[in-house]
Chains A and B, each alone.
Chain A
């Protein structure tokens, strides 16, 4: 398995609180992605990064922000968590984005109550 670690693996938080999820890689891959997985919706891209401090929005970016200050870390922040953000969040990495496969982390199960 590719060296991808997501933390925390499980989290329960209250509505309105900020939450930060971390994705750490040891592969030195350039591209990193955050997805959310929900029944009936598959995986939807939230944000992605194509280098340090280079990020862009995905399909469902509202209510989320990201930061990448180092190659190995990609942080996803829910600025004010809502119940609709209850989901399983997956981080993925890719060496060159276009012509290589993406490797996925184990996922973070987030529950907003």
Chain B
């Protein structure tokens, strides 16, 4: 069965610091990968997605993620965070042989001015 691990549960940064959030999945076949963001009190919104092609994916608000198949990873990055990036970030995976979309436990990001 597919599963997703996010090892950073809570990250605290100052504005302008660089961000990298880890995401690892367990499934040996083809996967579709997603990062979602949930701002306080709101529903989840898509940041970026990977289906195939260039493993470096660019999303909204300056976020990007790199798919490394050999490491089963899809880490999220942003060169310089802003206070408005304070939110919870979820990695999700959809394996090719299933219709299920499985989420990680999330990473809470706090950015201080």
- Chain A residues with a Cβ under 8 A of chain B: 31, 33, 35, 40-45, 48, 50, 56, 58-59, 90, 92, 94, 97-99, 101-107
Of A33, A90, A104, which is in contact with the most chain B CB atoms at under 10 Å from its CB? Answer: A104
Interface residues of B toward A: which range? 20 to 34
Q: Could you tell me if B105 and A97 are in contact, using CB atoms closer than 8 angstroms?
A: no
Identify whether the interface residues of A are mostly helix, strand, loop, or mixed: strand
The CA of A107 and the CA of B103, in the complex, are separated in Å by 16
Contact residues in B for A43 (Cβ distance below 8 Å): 44, 90, 103, 106
Provide the bound-state CA to CA distance between A33 and B42, in Å.
18
Decide if B100 is an interface residue (CB 8 Å cutoff). Answer: yes
B43 on the interface (CB 8 Å rule)? yes
For residue B32, CB closer than 8 A to chain A, the reply is: yes
Q: How many angstroms between the C-alpha atoms of A106 and B43 in the bound complex?
A: 5
